[in-house]
Structure 1
Amino acid sequence: MGQLATLFEPDRIAVVGATDREGSVGRAITANLLADFEGDVVAVNPTKDEVLGLESHDSVTDVPDVDVAVVVVPPSIVLDAIREAGEAGVRDVVVITAGFGESGSEGASRERELRELAAEFDLNLVGPNSLGVMNTDLGMNATFGPESAQPGSISFMSQSGAFVTAVVDWANDRNLGFHNVVSLGNKAVLDESDFVAEWGDDPDTDVILGYLEDVVDGRAFVESAREVSRETPIVVVKSGRTEAGASAAASHTGAIAGSEAAYEAALDQAGVLRVETVQDLFDFGSILAGQPLPESDGVAIVTNAGGPGVMTTDAVGDSDLSLASFTDETVAAFQEALPDEANVYNPVDIIGDAPVERFEDALDVALADPNVGAAVVLACPTATLSFEALAESVVDLQAEYETPVAATLMGGSSTRAANDTLSSAGIPTYFDPARAVRSLDALREYRDISRREYAEPETFDVDREAAREILESAGRRDTNRLGVEAMGLLDAYGIPTPGSDIVDSRSDAVDAAERVGAGDEVVMKIVSPDILHKSDIGGVAVGVPPEEVADTYEDLVTRARNYQPDATILGVQVQEMLDMDAAVETIAGMNRDPQFGPLVLFGLGGIFVEVLEDTTVRVAPVSEPSAREMLDEIEAAPLLRGARGREPVDEAAVVEAIQRLSQLVTDFPAIVELDINPLVATPDGVRAVDVRLTIDQEEL
C-alpha cells in the first residue's frame, strides 16, 4: 500500500476521548475496536482512570508508538488534541468530532486551523465530522457504527456517515464484504483522490466504490482515477445534481455545460463508472469483484421460463450488449441435449419441467460457444428443480469456462441457500433479470475502460503574447466581455478565421468591404461587448453587396443604439462571406467549472444551439483521440460525414481546432467562458466566424 498504509494497518490505535459512558460516541468506538481489532487499543481521557478495562492516559503523548489517533472530543479542544498527536509523532488521525465547516463561520474557521495543523505536522487526517474507518482484515472497526463489515475485496468511501451505517447493515444481510471502509466527513485534508490512489496500490482491493456529493480537487481526481481505473474498477454514485447557474451564463457553452455536465465528462475521462442508484452501485461492485471481464459482447440466456426470458432479452436490447448468435455446431448440440419443445436459439428456453441436469447441459453448450462472452442463468421455482443443486452446477461451469455469469433465481426463501452458494463463488444473483443484464453491461463497460489508450494532449506552436495582449485590452477598457473584436485571439492560437476588419465609419466600412470581400458580398456585424445575441436585435447582415455597405453600417449602429442606448459600440465588423453550401455550422466553446477547470464543448452550432443541445464536453486539456470521440458522440455526426450525398467535412481540421481551443483556455485561466459559434466546417477546413468570451480581470 501507499502513504496511508498505517491508517488501515496500524499496530496501535489511540481513542482520544474514550469513555465508558453509555450511549456516547467515545464508548462505541472503543468497544468496536476492543471487539475484534488485532492490534493494541489505547484509551486517552484525562478525566478517567480506566475505560472499558483499559488504563486511561492523560494525553496521547504519554503513549509510545501510536499509529492512529481517533479523535472524539468536543470541538473546542479538537485542535489541542491534534497538536498533541502531531507532537507525539502520530502520522494518521481520524477526527470524528463535528462542528467544523458544516456548522457556520466559527466552525469553518476552526476547520482552517485544523488544516493548518495537519500541514504543520504532515498528518494524514480523515474528517472532521467522520463516522470513522474500517479494515476488515485486521478486525479494525474504528467507527461508531452499530455493526462491523464482513471481509471482502471491495473498498468503499462515503461522504455520508449515515450512508455507511446503512450500507454495512444492508451488505451484511446479503453476505457482501468489504476490505476498507472510510467515512470521508468534511474532507479537510484527505479526500476521494487520496483514497482512490491508495486503494489502487492495494492488492487486497479489487473494486473501489464511492458515494460522493462533490469532488474537492477535480483535476487531481481525474488524474488519480484515470491511472487507477486501468487496473482497478471504480464505481461512483454522485448525488447533488443541479443545473448550476445556467440562467446566469453569458455564453451558449455556459448555459449548456453546467456542473452536472462537468461531472459526467470528468468521471468518464477518469474511467469511473457512474451509476444513478445505490442498487446499481453494489450490483456493479459485486460483479466486478467476483467475475472476469467478457471477451465479447454476446450474451447467452438459459432459462426454464419463457416470459422472464423475454424480459431478459429486452434488457439486453436496452444495453450495449447483444444477444449472442450461436454457431451451427452449438444449435446442433442444443437440439441433441434438449427436448423437442425447447427453444434452441437465444434465449434458450429449456421449458418448465427442466431438472438441474438439463440446465447444466444447456449452460455447458452455451458457454462453449465462441460467440458467447457472458451468460444469464434464469430460473423460476418448479417441483422438478433444486435451486441449491443448480447453484452448484453454475459455480462449477463458470469456473471451468472462466466466462462471466449472472444468475436470476426468481423466488423467495427457496433461493436463499442457492444465492449464498453463488455469492460465495463470486457469482451475483438477482430477482430482477434487468439487474443481471445491467451488471454484465458494467463488466463490458469496464473492459472497454481498461483497454483505453491515454494520449498526452498535443502542444501547438502559438503566439501567447499576442493572445495575452488582446485579453488585457479588455481590462484596459474596464469590461469583462469580448466579442468579435477578439478574433485575433483565435488567430494567435492557430484557429482559422475569415478575413475581416472592424471599422467605425461609413467610409471605412466601404474600404474594408473592398479589401476582405474583393468586390463580392460581405457579412457585417455590430461590435459591442454589451450585446450578446447580435442576431436577436438585427445586428447581423449577411450577403451585403458592395453598394449597400455604407447604409448597412448606419442601420446596424442605429439598431444597436436603439436597442441598448448605454451599450459600448466599438464599431462594425466587415467579414468575408463564406460559401455555406457544403458547410456545417458547429460550435466549440468552454466553460470554467469550479471543480474541474476548463470544460470544452463541441456540437451542432448556429442560432438554435441551446434549443437543440446536440453537444458533448470534455475536461481540458483535450487530446487528439478524445477530440475525435467528441465528433462521434453528437447526433449530428452524420452531417459531418456527408449525409444525403454531401461531401464530408475536414474532420482533422475540426479535431485540431478543438485541441487548439483546449490549449488556449488551459493557458489562460482568465477566460471564464468562450463561444466560437459558428465554427464553420467544410471539406476544405474550418473557419471560426464569431466569438465571444467572458474574462476574470483578476486573473489577467
Structure 2
Amino acid sequence: MTQGIRGLFAPERIAVVGATEREGSVGRAIWQNLDGFDGEVVPVNPRRETVFGESCFPTLADVPHDIDLVVVVVPPESAVDVVREAGERGVENAVVVTAGFGEAGSEGAARERDLQQVAEEYGVNLVGPNSLGILSTPRNLNATFGPGGALPGTLSFMSQSGAFITAVLDWANDQGIGFKDVVSLGNKAVMDETDFVDFWGEDDHTGVVLGYLEGIEDGREFIETARETTRETPIVLVKSGRTEAGAQAASSHTGTLAGSEEAYEAGLDQAGVLRAENVQELFDFARVLDGQPLPDGDSVAVVTNAGGPGVMATDAVGDSRLSMASFGDETIDALRESLPGGANVYNPVDTIGDADVERFRTAVDAALADENVDAAVVISAPTAVLDYAELAEAVVACQREHGKPMVACLMGGERATDAGRVLREGGVPNYFDPARAVRSLDALARQREITEREYGTPPNFDVDRERARDVLEQVQERGENRLGVEAMDLLDAYGIPTPKSEIVDTPEDAVNAAQDIEGDVVMKIVSPDILHKSDIGGVKVGVSPEEVYDAFEDLVTRARNYQPDATILGVQVQEQVDLDAGTETILGVNRDPQFGPLLMFGLGGIFVEVMEDTTFRVAPVTDREATEMLDEIQAAPLLRGARGRPSADRESVAETIQRLSQLVTDFPAILELDVNPLVATPDGVQAIDVRLTVDPDEL
C-alpha cells in the first residue's frame, strides 16, 4: 500500500467533489485552500457549471483526465456512491471530509461499513470519513478546510482530532515549526495510524512522525510496523483517554489492575514509540529529535549563568534516565583558568551573573570537549552584559564543532526572540523551562536506546495443545466461563511447573490422595463461583494426614454456608510448597480489545491488589522483554537475592512468562488468567493456583 499512499501526498490532479462558491461551506474552503497547489484541481458538482471560473463537471465519470486524488465533500448519503465512482475510474486515493458516519449513530455506522466495503473492493486508499483533510508542503497541497496552511519542514503529523490539527498548525506557524505531511485520520474506516507510520517510515523526507491518537485499531500490527519505522525514524505520540476503559467488572486480579492505559503504555513502549504527556512535550521532543544527533551515552553537562535554573536542571536530570557528567581533570583545570574565582567549575558549571558571550562560549566548549560528556544544556538568564543573539550564535557554533547534542534554555521574553530564531535555524531547540530542556534530552537518549534494541523472536515451546484444549473445553461441558484450580493441567500442558495435586469429591478420596503426597498438604475448595477462596476460609495449609478427612468436610461446609447455590466441584489436595523458600509473584493476562493478550507480572500472594507492584507487556514476548519484566517491579531485589536471601531462578521465571505468553497467544478464548502465587525459588518456579475466564465461542 505504501506506493499507493504516495499519491495521497503527491498527486498531479485532484478532483474536489462538492466544490462550490457558497460562502461558509466546506467545499469552498477546501477549494480555496488548494489555490496554491502545484498541480491541477478539478471541481465536480452537478449543480454548478463553474467554480471560481473553472469548468465544473457533474460527476467524476465526466472528468476527461486521469485523477490521482478525490476529495469528497458531499452529503453522507452520497459519499459512498462518489467513492464507488472513484473506484470504477481507477482512482487510488480518496479523502472523505464528510461527517455523518460512525460517529453519528447506528445509521451512520452502517453507512461507514458500506464506505469501507466499497473502498476495499476497488482498492482505494481512503482517509476518513469525518476528516479535516490532508496537507503536504512539498507540493503546496492543502486539501483541508482549516483556516491556514503549514510551514515546510520534516515533521509528519497525524491526528484523530481535526480541531487539534487546526490549533496545532496555527500555533506552529507562530513558533516557526514546519511540517512535511499532515493527516486528519477521521473515523479511520480504511486507513489508520499503522498505514501512515509504515509510509512515513520509508519516506526520506520525514524526520519525525508525530501523532495525536484516541485509540489504535490493531495494536499488534501497530507494534510490528512501528518497530521497523523507529529503527530510523522517531515516533512521538500523545495518547488521550488515560482512564480505565470498560464498564464491566473484571473478575481476575489481572483484569482489575490492567485497564486500557496499561495496554497502551506497554504496547507503545514495545513498539519503540516515545509517548508525550501533552502537546507541549510532543513538540519539545519533536524539535530535539529533528535537529540534534543521538547522544553516545546518558551523561549531561549543564552550563549556566544563573544558579537557580542550574539547580532546576540538575533536579530534572535526577528525575530522568540521564546522569550529571563527572568532568575530567583537564576540563576542571580549563574551567578554573577561564572562569572567575566565584564560578563553579564542577557540573553544573556556573559562569556567574556577569558572564559575557566569550566566557559562556569558553565554558561550553570546555564541557563539550570532555569525553565524559555526551550532551549539554546551556541555561542563561538575561543580563545587561550579555547579548542573547550572539550567545545563541556561539551555542550553535559549539554544537556544530563538537557534534554532540545540545539544548538551550535562554530564558526571557522579547530579549530571547531573536536568540530563539538563531537557535531554531541552527537546529538547537530552545526552552524557557530548564526541566523541559532536560526532558527533551532524555527523549533523545531514549530514542538512542530504541535504535539499539534487538527485539528477537518469541520462542515456540514444545507444548501439548490438545491437552490444553481439553481443559478449556470444560467451560462448554459445564455451561460456565470460569475455571479454577481444576484447570491446573492447562499450565502443565504448557510446561509450567505445578505441585503434585488431585481434585477429589469425597473425604475418603481426599485421604487416599494425601497418602500419595509426602508430608502435610494444602486443601482448597474447588468452585468456579468462589473466586477468592482464602477470604471465606476455603483454603487450609499444613494439613496432616490425620486431619485430611475432617478438613474436607469443613471446607465443603464453609463453601455451602458462604454461597448455597455455588457449584462445588470438590476439593483439591495439593503438595505443600514452602512459600518462605521463595518469592510469591503473580503472572496473569487480560485480553485488551486493541492489543490482544496483555501480560502482567508482579509481586503476588494476597498483597497483589494492595501493593500493585506490577508491570505489563503485550504478548507474545521475547526473552529480552520477559527479562525486563523481572527488573521493572519494585520487588525486583527480592528476586535477585536481597538481604541475604538466595537469588531466585530468574531464567525459570522469564521462561514461565514466555510459556504463558505462548498459551494465551495460541488460545484467544482465554480472556483473563491469573497464576497466583507463582513461587520463585532458587530451584525454579511453582504455580500454586490458577483461575481463568474463557470465551466458549472462541474455542
For the criterion TM > 0.5, the same-fold answer is: yes
1:337-348 to 2 correspondences below 5 Å: 337-348=338-349
**Could you tell me which residue of structure 2 aligns to residue 679 of structure 1?**
678
Retained in 2: the 8 A contact 1:247–1:255?
no
**Could you tell me which residue of structure 2 aligns to residue 526 of structure 1?**
525
**Could you tell me which residue of structure 1 aligns to residue 697 of structure 2?**
698
Q: Secondary structure at the match of 1:185?
A: coil
1:409-488 to 2 correspondences below 5 Å: 409-488=410-489
Q: Secondary structure at the match of 1:145?
A: coil
Q: Secondary structure at the match of 2:605?
A: coil
**Could you tell me which residue of structure 1 aligns to residue 331 of structure 2?**
330
Q: Secondary structure at the match of 1:242?
A: coil
Measure the CA separation in 1 of the matches of 2:628 and 2:136: 40
**Could you tell me which residue of structure 2 aligns to residue 602 of structure 1?**
601
Paired AA for residue 469 in structure 2: R
Retained in 2: the 8 A contact 1:246–1:255?
no
**Could you tell me which residue of structure 2 aligns to residue 554 of structure 1?**
553
Measure the CA separation in 2 of the matches of 1:453 and 1:396: 35
Measure the CA separation in 1 of the matches of 2:402 and 2:599: 44
Distance verdict in 2 for CA 1:398–1:158, change over 3 Å: same
Q: Which moved more, 1:495-504 or 1:374-383?
A: 374-383
1:259-338 to 2 correspondences below 5 Å: 259-338=260-339
Retained in 2: the 8 A contact 1:246–1:256?
no
Q: Aligned-pair distance for 1:245?
A: 3.9
Measure the CA separation in 1 of the matches of 2:16 and 2:264: 37
Paired AA for residue 49 in structure 1: E
Residues 524-575 of structure 1, C-alpha deviation per residue, up to 9 Å, x if partnerless? 0000011000000000000001100000000000000111111110100000
Q: Which moved more, 1:57-66 or 1:657-666?
A: 57-66
Distance verdict in 2 for CA 1:643–1:456, change over 3 Å: same
Q: Aligned-pair distance for 1:22?
A: 1.3
* TM score, norm. by length of structure 1: 0.99
Q: Secondary structure at the match of 1:429?
A: coil
**Could you tell me which residue of structure 2 aligns to residue 52 of structure 1?**
52
Paired AA for residue 409 in structure 1: L
Retained in 2: the 8 A contact 1:2–1:201?
no
1:585-624 to 2 correspondences below 5 Å: 585-624=584-623
Q: Aligned-pair distance for 1:247?
A: 6.8
Measure the CA separation in 1 of the matches of 2:316 and 2:489: 52
Paired AA for residue 530 in structure 1: D
Measure the CA separation in 1 of the matches of 2:642 and 2:365: 46
Measure the CA separation in 2 of the matches of 1:367 and 1:358: 14
**Could you tell me which residue of structure 1 aligns to residue 583 of structure 2?**
584
Runs of 4+ in 1 over 6 A off after TM superposition: none
**Could you tell me which residue of structure 2 aligns to residue 62 of structure 1?**
62
Q: Secondary structure at the match of 1:407?
A: strand
Q: Aligned-pair distance for 1:362?
A: 1.0
Measure the CA separation in 2 of the matches of 1:296 and 1:471: 49
Q: Aligned-pair distance for 1:359?
A: 1.1
1:33-432 to 2 correspondences below 5 Å: 33-34=34-35, 36-63=36-63, 64-245=65-246, 248-432=249-433
**Could you tell me which residue of structure 2 aligns to residue 535 of structure 1?**
534
Paired AA for residue 508 in structure 1: D
Retained in 1: the 8 A contact 2:69–2:94?
yes
Measure the CA separation in 2 of the matches of 1:244 and 1:174: 36
Paired AA for residue 242 in structure 1: T
Measure the CA separation in 2 of the matches of 1:482 and 1:336: 74
Measure the CA separation in 1 of the matches of 2:692 and 2:343: 65
Q: Aligned-pair distance for 1:587?
A: 0.6
Paired AA for residue 21 in structure 2: D
Retained in 1: the 8 A contact 2:200–2:206?
yes
**Could you tell me which residue of structure 1 aligns to residue 629 of structure 2?**
630
Measure the CA separation in 2 of the matches of 1:409 and 1:260: 36
**Could you tell me which residue of structure 2 aligns to residue 648 of structure 1?**
647
Measure the CA separation in 2 of the matches of 1:688 and 1:321: 38
Measure the CA separation in 2 of the matches of 1:522 and 1:17: 77
Q: Aligned-pair distance for 1:3?
A: 3.3
Residues 434-484 of structure 1, C-alpha deviation per residue, up to 9 Å, x if partnerless? 110110110011111111001100000000000101111221111100001
Paired AA for residue 67 in structure 1: D
Residues 134-168 of structure 1, C-alpha deviation per residue, up to 9 Å, x if partnerless? 11111100101111110011100000000000000
Q: Secondary structure at the match of 2:173?
A: helix
Measure the CA separation in 1 of the matches of 2:536 and 2:166: 58
Q: Aligned-pair distance for 1:354?
A: 1.2
Retained in 1: the 8 A contact 2:300–2:374?
yes
Retained in 2: the 8 A contact 1:31–1:52?
no
Measure the CA separation in 1 of the matches of 2:76 and 2:246: 35
Any stretches of 5+ residues in structure 2 without a counterpart?
none
Residues 322-362 of structure 1, C-alpha deviation per residue, up to 9 Å, x if partnerless? 11111000001111111222111111111111111111111
Paired AA for residue 142 in structure 2: N
Measure the CA separation in 1 of the matches of 2:357 and 2:39: 48
Measure the CA separation in 1 of the matches of 2:148 and 2:288: 24
Q: Aligned-pair distance for 1:62?
A: 2.2
Paired AA for residue 20 in structure 1: E
Q: Secondary structure at the match of 1:148?
A: coil
Q: Which moved more, 1:301-310 or 1:665-674?
A: 301-310
Measure the CA separation in 2 of the matches of 1:143 and 1:425: 31
Q: Secondary structure at the match of 1:489?
A: helix
Q: Secondary structure at the match of 1:58?
A: coil
Q: Secondary structure at the match of 1:585?
A: strand
Paired AA for residue 168 in structure 2: V
Paired AA for residue 624 in structure 2: P
Retained in 1: the 8 A contact 2:4–2:92?
no
Paired AA for residue 339 in structure 1: P
Q: Aligned-pair distance for 1:89?
A: 1.2
Measure the CA separation in 2 of the matches of 1:161 and 1:600: 34
Residues 34-56 of structure 1, C-alpha deviation per residue, up to 9 Å, x if partnerless? 1x211111111111111122111
Any stretches of 5+ residues in structure 1 without a counterpart?
none
Q: Secondary structure at the match of 2:573?
A: strand
Q: Secondary structure at the match of 2:110?
A: helix
**Could you tell me which residue of structure 1 aligns to residue 496 of structure 2?**
495
Measure the CA separation in 1 of the matches of 2:248 and 2:347: 50
* TM score, norm. by length of structure 2: 0.99
Residues 566-617 of structure 1, C-alpha deviation per residue, up to 9 Å, x if partnerless? 1110100000011223211111111000000001111110011111111111
Q: Aligned-pair distance for 1:246?
A: 7.8
Q: Secondary structure at the match of 2:275?
A: strand
Measure the CA separation in 2 of the matches of 1:535 and 1:580: 16
Retained in 2: the 8 A contact 1:670–1:698?
yes
Paired AA for residue 55 in structure 1: S
Q: Which moved more, 1:246-255 or 1:38-47?
A: 246-255
Retained in 2: the 8 A contact 1:375–1:406?
yes
Measure the CA separation in 2 of the matches of 1:164 and 1:473: 52
Measure the CA separation in 1 of the matches of 2:674 and 2:306: 55
Measure the CA separation in 1 of the matches of 2:508 and 2:320: 63
Q: Secondary structure at the match of 1:294?
A: coil
Count of residue correspondences? 697
Q: Aligned-pair distance for 1:129?
A: 0.3
Retained in 1: the 8 A contact 2:4–2:93?
no
Give RMSD over aligned pairs: 1.0
Paired AA for residue 39 in structure 1: G
